[in-house]
Amino acid sequence: MSRKEECCLVSDLSEGMENFEVRVMNGVDDEKPKSFSYLTKVLYPYHVKALQESGCDCTNGCSNCKCLFKNGGEIPFTEKGAIIGPKPIIYECGPSCKCPPSCMNRVGQSGSRIQLEVFRTGSGGWGVRSQSYISSGSFVCEYIGQLKQVKDNYLGEGTLVGKKERGLALDTKKSGNVARFICQSDDLPNLFAQRVLYDHDDLRMPHIMFFATKDIPPLQELSYEYDYDDPLAYQLF
């Protein structure tokens, strides 16, 4: 597919809902992404009730508290907000905790601090990249959509879920955020998906946060690897 001069077709896909404008760039054709409802928080089914626990009593940053205990005795992030390494689950401080927003254990819940943009790929699809350099371990964005109950191996009419016959799925077909345009890749992905809990302690419904696996230069397409065989994994759409 031939390319033309790249131009901005949408100045802010999030319409002011993100910390930065999310531009849509296209140097291939005049297509824009199909319309969808932009979200900054996961939509939960009305019949699903998340389990909640009381938070920590720290007031000057977390130290020797219940949140650190749930994370194995240490804060899983550096002072600059980089993840120390992948874990089966990470517990961030939440709304019931007394620590301030500047607490080292509050990273993903504050939203992306990286200016991401959607762009038209040479194959005619969509991808996501950053205007700036992303250092290894940095939080990039959350995969946000509508949480739905999966029954009989289908999510809605005609949508095949995959190996799991029952469970929960994050559906981004009609609503979601910029992460819905990030491509999956088994060939050297530069992001990994980390399960995070902060606004509840229900292991059935973790937040899916993307972190950089390595240093990522500006304008390099972002991609992630996701383990669907993990017994705690959502199906992602």
**In angstroms, rounded to a whole number, what is the distance separating the alpha carbons of residues 128 and 232?**
26
**In angstroms, rounded to a whole number, what is the distance separating the alpha carbons of residues 218 and 203?**
35
Domain membership flag for residue 23? no
**In angstroms, rounded to a whole number, what is the distance separating the alpha carbons of residues 78 and 36?**
35
Q: Beta 116-120 vs 126-130: how paired, if at all?
A: antiparallel
**Which residues are bridge partners to 128 per DSSP?**
118
Average pLDDT over residues 196-206: 88
Average pLDDT over residues 187-209: 91
Domain membership flag for residue 17? no
| Strand positions, DSSP E, 80-201 | 90-91, 116-120, 126-130, 139-143, 146-150, 167-171, 175-176, 183-184, 191-197
> Can you give the pTM of this predicted structure?
0.89
Domain membership flag for residue 41? yes
Backbone φ and ψ for 70, nearest 5 degrees, come out as -65, -25
Domain membership flag for residue 130? no
59: how many CB neighbours lie within 10 A of its CB? 11
**In angstroms, rounded to a whole number, what is the distance separating the alpha carbons of residues 169 and 172?**
10
pLDDT at 64: 85
CATH number of the domain encompassing residue 178: 2.170.270.10
Domain membership flag for residue 122? no
pLDDT at 3: 61
pLDDT digits (tens, 9 = 90+) for 89-108: 999 999 999 999 999 999 99
pLDDT at 165: 42
* Nearest alpha carbon to residue 169 among 90, 98, 236: 236
Check: CB of residue 195 under 8 Å from CB of residue 207: yes
pLDDT at 167: 72
Q: How many domains does the chain have?
A: 1
Domain membership flag for residue 12? no
Query: Sorting pLDDT into bands at 50, 70 and 90, what band is 230?
Result: low
CA 169 to chain centre: 14
Domain membership flag for residue 79? yes
Quickly count helices (H) and strands (E) in the chain.
Answer: 1, 15
Domain of residue 170 covers: 29-111+136-237
Check: CB of residue 12 under 8 Å from CB of residue 4: no
pLDDT at 125: 92
Express as a percent the part of the chain with pLDDT over 90.
65
Amino acid identity, position 8: C
Domain membership flag for residue 2? no
Query: Sorting pLDDT into bands at 50, 70 and 90, what band is 36?
Result: very high
The mean-pLDDT minimum among 31-45, 70-84, 157-171 falls in 157-171
